[in-house]
Amino acid sequence: MMRTRNFVLLLLSITMLALAVGITSVSTLSSSISSLGSYVTDSMGIERDYTAEIPSEPDTRGERIATLRAKIAERLDARAPEQVAEEMTEPAPTEESATTTPAIATVELCSWHSPSAVVWEPSLIQQENREGMRVYYEAGPETIDPNTGLPAQSEIVRARIPLRTGPAGATSCLPSDVIGVALDGSLIRNNETALYTVFGGDTLIGYALDGFPIYGVTSGVTPDRCGGVMVSGSYRYVLQTDRPGLISCYSGQPIILR
């Protein structure tokens, strides 16, 4: 009897041990099969269920426009300080943009320029306009007019200056210091600025050797390179206190005094 019970207990223990081993093996096998199934699914590209969050987008056109405007406003606000700084920054003055004082005109002397050696006695000079010419002459010896047989006064012409109203196409340099004849018959020398700049712009001083009149110091005008301006349709030379000579060049072809 005792032996039978012991044998039954031993058999029951062996059975329970075998059952425990079997359950453990089955669990391990199930886990391996699950892992293998996941690997096969991923490798073969079989779709799997995923959960994704999609950001909400505006449903209407008005909402999309409002969203776009808000983004633009944010960008403008971010750039606003830079723009203000640029507007308030003044560019530094450069040499090119700085205001420069116009250069004073220089006297254009010919390469053969020399002081005039002409013999000229102002007290003997008479002058008048004849047929578009300014004629300068001296009284000559008394003669007999062959047509009337009466005594007549001869004259010695010293210069004929053609009277002009407009400048020529090209300018001329100054060959000598004498540039004209004054109304009193004296020669006008270009370097005698102190002698003539005491006269105002309404005073006719004389005529230049190219035929244009010379007037006193005139303000409110911008003379050309030679020192002349157009007034009432006629060209004239005007004096300037900051010019190194009475004129800087001839605007017409000058005559030569002999």
DSSP-derived secondary structure for 34-49: HHHHHHHHHHTT----
Q: Is residue 230 in a domain?
A: yes
For residue 169, what pLDDT is reported?
A: 80
Assessment of whether the complete model's pTM goes beyond 0.75: no
Q: Is residue 245 in a domain?
A: no
What does the alpha-carbon distance between residue 212 and residue 206 come to, in Å, rounded to a whole number? 9
Q: Is residue 235 in a domain?
A: yes
Q: Are 136 and 157 in contact (CB under 8 A)?
A: yes
Nearest of 190, 210, 185 to residue 124 by alpha carbon: 185
Q: Is the pLDDT of residue 118 over 60?
A: yes
pLDDT band for position 147 (50/70/90)? confident
Q: Is residue 6 in a domain?
A: no
Per-residue pLDDT of 8-59, as tens digits, reads 677 777 777 766 666 665 555 555 545 544 543 454 444 445 454 554 554 5
Q: Is residue 190 in a domain?
A: yes
**What is the extent of the structural domain holding 168?**
109-119+164-239
Residue 120 exposure: Cα atoms within 13 Å on the Cβ side: 23
Q: What total number of domains does the chain contain?
A: 1
Q: Is residue 21 in a domain?
A: no
